[in-house]
Each structure stands twice: as C-alpha cells, then as structure tokens.
Amino acid sequence: MKELAIFTKAMIRERRDILLSILGGFAAGLAGVGLFAASGYLIAQTVFAPPLYTLIMLTSLVKILGLVRAASRYGERLFSHRATFSLLGRLRTAFFSKLVPLTPGILNRTRSGELLARIVGDVESLQFYFLRVAYPPVMVVMVFLATMLFTAAFSIWAALLLLAGMLMAAFGVPALVMIGQRRVHGAVKRKRAAFSTDVTEMLFGFRDLKLYGRLNQREEELQQVSADLAASQRDDALRLLRGQALHTFLTFIISWGMLVLGAYLIVNGSLSGVFLAMLVMVSNTVFEEAAPMATLPAYKQDSEYAAKRLTDTVLSAEKQQPELPANRRSIDDEAVSVSFDEVCFQYDDEWRPALQDISLHLPAGSKTAIVGPSGSGKTSLFELLLKLRKPNRGEIRLNDIPLQELEEEHVWSKCNTVLQHGHFFRGTIRDNLLTEQTCFEDEELSFVLDQVQLKDKKLNDHVLEKGENLSDGEKQRLALARAVLHGGRLWLLDEPTSSLDYITERKVLRYVLDQAAGDTLLLISHRLAGLEHMDRIIVIEQGRIVESGTYEELVALKGYFYELKEIELQMFEASNK
Ligand SMILES: Nc1ncnc2c1ncn2[C@@H]1O[C@H](COP(=O)(O)OP(=O)(O)OP(=O)(O)O)[C@@H](O)[C@H]1O
C-alpha cells in the first residue's frame, strides 16, 4: 500500500534495531519451545528412573533455556520498542514538517478538533504497524519452521499437524476476525474525531455557551458522542478478545490432536512413548508465538486506514498549494510595490465570490486605506496577499514578482502584519514580542511598548493562553508593537486600532505611520477620521472596488465614501453634544 511507503522508509532507517529484535524474538521463541520440550522430556524420563547425570543435564538445560528465553525476550522487547518509538518519532517529524506549511489550506477544510484527533490518533495507530503487523508473521514463520524441523525428526505426521495448525492460526482465525472487523471499519476513529471536534468547540465556546444557556444541551450532546465512542471502543476490544480466544481454542485443539496422534504413533510403534509429553508441550508453546496473528488483520486495517487519512490530509492540502517554480525569487530589503490584476477569489462551498475583478497598483512606499462595509472582502484581500489563500483567477505581484514565485515564509518575513484576531501565547510580554527573526535588547522592547501606549506593561508580565488576561485594546497595541519590531517593509494592518479610544488611537497610529515612513502600508479601517494623510483610499463593496482616490477626490466624488464620512461626522457630533 503506497500510503505506508513513508512508514516503510522509516523502518529501513531503523533496520539495525529491527534486525536485533527479530533475532531476540527468534531466540526467545526457540528457547521457549526448547524449554518446554526439555521439561516434557524430563518429566517423561523421570518415570524410567534414568541415571542421575541425565537428570542433572536435563534440569540444567531447562534452567539455561529459561534464562536464555528471558534474556532474549528482554532484548526483543527492548529493541522492538526502541525501533517503534524511533519510528513514531520519525513519522511525527515527517508528518508535521509536511503539515506545517500546508496548515492554512488544511484548516480551510478541516475543523481544528478533527485535525488534532487525526494527527494524534492516526500517528499513534501507525506505531502498531511494526509491532503488530510487520513483525509477528516474520517471527511466526521462523519459529514454526524451526519447530517443525525439530518435530519432523520424531514424526513427520506431528510436523504436518503443526503445519496445519500454523496455517489455521495464520489465515483461518484472522479471516474469522476480519468478518466482524469489516463491518465497523474505522468506526472508532471517526467517532473519536467527532468527539474531539465537539470537545474543542465546547472548550473554545465555553463562555458563550454558558452565557446563552446552551451549555447543558451541549453537554448532553457531548455525553451522547462520548457514549457512542465508548461503545465502539468496547466493540473493538471485544473483537480483539474474540480473536485471542479463538486462537487459544485452536492451540488446545492442536495440543489434543498432538496427544491423540502421539498415542496412535506409540501404539503402532513408530514413536517412543518418552517423547509424547515433549511433543504436546512443544505444540502448546509454539502457538504462543503465533498469538499476535489473531489480531494482525485488525491492526493492519487500522494502520492502513490511519496512513491513508494522514496521506489524504497532506495530499489534498498540497493540491491546493500553488506550485513553486524551480527558480524561487525573493524580494529585496526595500519598500514593496503591490499589484492586483483582475483578481477573483471565492471561498470553498460559498455561493458568491468574496472578491471580484480586483485590479490595483500600490507603488512602493505608498500608504493606502481600505474601507468598506463588513463582509465586503477587505480581510480576504490581505489573506491573498499573505498567501494564506489562493486567488481563483488573476495575478498578485509584489515588486513585480508574481506571488506564486515567492515562498510563503519569505512573504511573511517581509510583512508587518496585524490581523483582526492576533494570537498571543502563554508566556511573558517579551515572549510575545519577539519573533523568530527578531532579537532586541529589553530597552528597545520597552521603548516600543511605551510608544504604542502600553506604558504600564512590563516585559516580564505574564500573558495567559490566547491573551486572556489582556483587554482587546491591549492585544491590539501588543500586536502593533510586534509588527513594528518585525522589521518588514510591507505593512498589512487589519483594523489594528478598532478597540482603542480616539486619543490613544491617534497617538498609536501616528507612531506606526512614522515607523512605516518610506514603507508600503495597507490599512483596513472602519473609522474614516484620520485617513486624510493616506495617499489613497480604496472603497470595497461586495467584493468589488467601487471607489478609489485621495481623500479629497473621494469627498468631491460625493459617492459611497462621502456618505460614510457624513454619517461618521454626524455620529461624532451627536456623541459630543
Ligand atoms: N473562511 C471563510 N469561509 C467562507 N467564507 C468566508 C470565510 N471568511 C470570510 N468569508 C466570507 O467572505 C466575505 C468577505 O469576508 P471578509 O472577512 O474578507 O470581509 P471584511 O470586509 O474583512 O469584513 P469585516 O469588516 O467584518 O472584517 C464575507 O461574505 C464572508 O462571509
């Protein structure tokens, strides 16, 4: 199966541990069979009162085989688990390194809770592929063949009985287990994903659910989903147990068969009676080694399903990624010009485009404001610029370089971005200010905090997850400070001061505009006051540019912008009365 190719590659790299675990397992299997064979023989021999040295030799052999079995089993466990965990490590790294650059594309289609469940659950499932799928057949074949050779030395019929037993253990029992397995293929995984999605949503929306009195209803739904998951897990466990029980039943049948066959061979004189107990013990022990075969199909199906889902997640997101040409280009450390050429964009599953025929050119160093009603497509414009989404038609260029020829990380490194809902990590203010590419002294950081009017915040102040202990205005100012420190030459600010009071907003924006002097700046704003200083204002409505020009030009036009401006003025006057 080609989805497991990534796993096979990782297995090849762990070949040393895998080989050692196979050797350990083989030695433990043989020592086990030998131990019980020697015990059976010893018991039978004592009846005939053999010389003392025979008994001493046999008891010593039993002890030695016991020790060898324990030591080899330990080695097998050590190396096989080391191989498994290294494989798991490699898989996680390989999967995450593929996933990270594709994350926006994946999150467009997959709910975050489900994605989390997939990553954790599916990668975990793959660990069983080596231990429970690839490894057991190798071990069973090796130990059975060796045991059959040994048994054949006493009776070819006994060896054939073991062969029949092995075939039933390797194919018959797994086939019976598979019949039940097929019916519920992937049910636990699907239900776990549904459960994880619901838990994530409930945790994110806990406060609102509580405020709007929907918490109990959600809890009940969650309990239902949880009960479904538990029921599927129970069914799964029962199926595995049924497989193991069938295997044990087969072991007893073959051991009884060996007893009856041995008795018959003794009666017709083709087997010495002293070997009967040994042969029965051998058949009983060798089937222990084959026990994992009963659960192999379940684990195989599970691993393949997990590998397929992981590969599908990555592959379908890769398909959405724009292809990078061989000669990737980069933007120099200079102000960036931005052009949109008849760009259209529509979200998946949406009936109308978010942006239509957007054409504009913003020269390097220009300052542009983007205004328009809520839902008109302003943020989508930024997301296209940041390569978080891909236009359906048209071309975007930065410094005359088509965006598809620039790597995302390169674009992000050139942009000082403040999005509407910036993320803040658990840590300190300092942690949240510094990015991978920035390195500043504390004095410089404190200076920037002062300038964005966060004078009362200290660098060592704690920030809770998602900035829970910061007000919306503080978050916006912290995001602006982070953007200032980032050092790119293209500023993308999406309503960066919407939660600030008028006076603080003026101060902060003046500082940001000073910092951006000489750089290209795009500012999405709902407030029109203060836009007089922008080189150009673009008005977007229903995904189209409806007006564009300087502040004076748009006022003179007496169009949409003028109307908005009048309304804002009236509201301002009314609130000052
Ligand atoms: N992830 C998404 N999936 C589907 N549709 C979306 C998504 N994000 C936004 N939209 C839709 O695209 C349109 C443009 O949204 P966008 O966020 O760009 O508007 P906006 O002008 O920035 O709005 P606001 O001023 O309220 O932030 C809206 O109709 C919105 O419903």
Q: Which H/E stretch holds residue 493?
A: strand 490-494
pLDDT of res. 353: 92
Answer for the pair 132, 296: CB distance below 8 angstroms, yes or no. yes
Answer for the pair 126, 303: CB distance below 8 angstroms, yes or no. yes
pLDDT of res. 180: 67
- Nearest C-alpha neighbor of 128 from the set 178, 175, 91: 91
Answer for the pair 337, 352: CB distance below 8 angstroms, yes or no. no
CA dihedral angle for residue 218, residue 220, residue 224, residue 230, rounded to 10 degrees: 100
* 339 has pLDDT over 90: yes
Answer for the pair 428, 463: CB distance below 8 angstroms, yes or no. yes
- Three-state DSSP class for residue 418: strand
Tens of pLDDT along 186-200?
A: 677 778 878 877 887
pLDDT of res. 302: 78
pLDDT of res. 307: 80
**Ligand 1 atom index nearest CA of 543:** 14
Nearest CA to ligand 1 atom 29: 375
The mean pLDDT of 54-76, rounded to a whole number, is 92
Nearest CA to ligand 1 atom 2: 347
Q: Which H/E stretch holds residue 483?
A: helix 472-486
Q: Residue 169 has what DSSP assignment?
A: I
Q: Which residues pair with 545 in a beta bridge?
A: 540
Nearest CA to ligand 1 atom 24: 374
pLDDT of res. 490: 94
Helix/strand/coil percentages in the chain, nearest 5: 65, 10, 25
The answer as to CATH 3.40.630.10 being correct for domain 2-320 is no
Tell me which amino acid residue 99 is.
L
**Ligand 1 atom index nearest CA of 372:** 21
- Three-state DSSP class for residue 256: helix
* 330 has pLDDT over 60: yes
Q: Residue 383 has what DSSP assignment?
A: H
* pTM > 0.90: no
CA distance 328 to 335: 20
Residues contacting 342, CB < 8 A, separation 6+? 357, 358, 359, 393, 394, 395
* 318 has pLDDT over 70: no
Distance 380 CA to ligand 1 centre (A): 6
Q: Residue 537 has what DSSP assignment?
A: E
- Nearest C-alpha neighbor of 68 from the set 23, 18, 17, 16: 23
Per-residue CA distances from 291 to 128, 174, 241, 295 (Å):
15, 10, 11, 8
Residue 93: CB atoms within 10 A of its CB come to 11
Nearest CA to ligand 1 atom 26: 374
* 266 has pLDDT over 80: yes
**Ligand 1 atom index nearest CA of 381:** 18
Nearest CA to ligand 1 atom 17: 379
Which pLDDT band holds residue 440 (cuts at 50, 70, 90)?
A: confident
Per-residue CA distances from 507 to 35, 367, 418, 494 (Å):
85, 18, 17, 17
The mean pLDDT of 58-79, rounded to a whole number, is 93
pLDDT of res. 450: 92
Which pLDDT band holds residue 360 (cuts at 50, 70, 90)?
A: very high
CA distance 366 to 491: 10
* 345 has pLDDT over 90: yes
CA distance 213 to 209: 6
The mean pLDDT of 470-498, rounded to a whole number, is 92
pLDDT of res. 493: 95
* 177 has pLDDT over 60: yes
pLDDT of res. 156: 93
Return the percentage of the chain with pLDDT > 90, whole number: 39
Q: Which H/E stretch holds residue 134?
A: none
Ligand 1 — pocket residues by CB below 6 A?
347, 350, 354, 372, 374-380
**Ligand 1 atom index nearest CA of 347:** 4
Which pLDDT band holds residue 175 (cuts at 50, 70, 90)?
A: confident
Domain with CATH 3.40.50.300 in the chain: 338-576
Which pLDDT band holds residue 366 (cuts at 50, 70, 90)?
A: very high
Tens of pLDDT along 1-40?
A: 556 676 777 788 888 999 999 999 999 999 999 999 999 9
| CATH superfamily placement of domain 338-576 | P-loop containing nucleotide triphosphate hydrolases (3.40.50.300)
Which pLDDT band holds residue 319 (cuts at 50, 70, 90)?
A: low
Answer for the pair 395, 343: CB distance below 8 angstroms, yes or no. yes
Distance 371 CA to ligand 1 centre (A): 14
Distance 91 CA to ligand 1 centre (A): 36
pLDDT of res. 550: 92
- What is the residue-averaged pLDDT of the chain? 85
Tens of pLDDT along 103-146?
A: 655 555 555 556 666 677 777 777 778 888 888 888 888 999 99
Nearest CA to ligand 1 atom 31: 375
pLDDT of res. 115: 66
The mean pLDDT of 167-189, rounded to a whole number, is 78
Question: What is the distance of C-alpha 154 from the center of its chain?
Answer: 55
pLDDT of res. 97: 72
**Ligand 1 atom index nearest CA of 420:** 27
pLDDT of res. 109: 53
Domain with CATH 1.20.1560.10 in the chain: 2-320
Q: Say if residue 393 is exposed, middle or buried (CB neighbours under 10 Å; 0-12, 13-18, 19+).
A: middle
ipTM beyond 0.85?
yes
CA distance 41 to 75: 28
pLDDT of res. 480: 94
E-strand ranges in 182-280 read none
The mean pLDDT of 232-258, rounded to a whole number, is 89
More confident residue, 69 or 90: 69
More confident residue, 568 or 534: 534
pLDDT of res. 332: 79
Which of 96-110, 162-176, 297-311 is least confident?
96-110
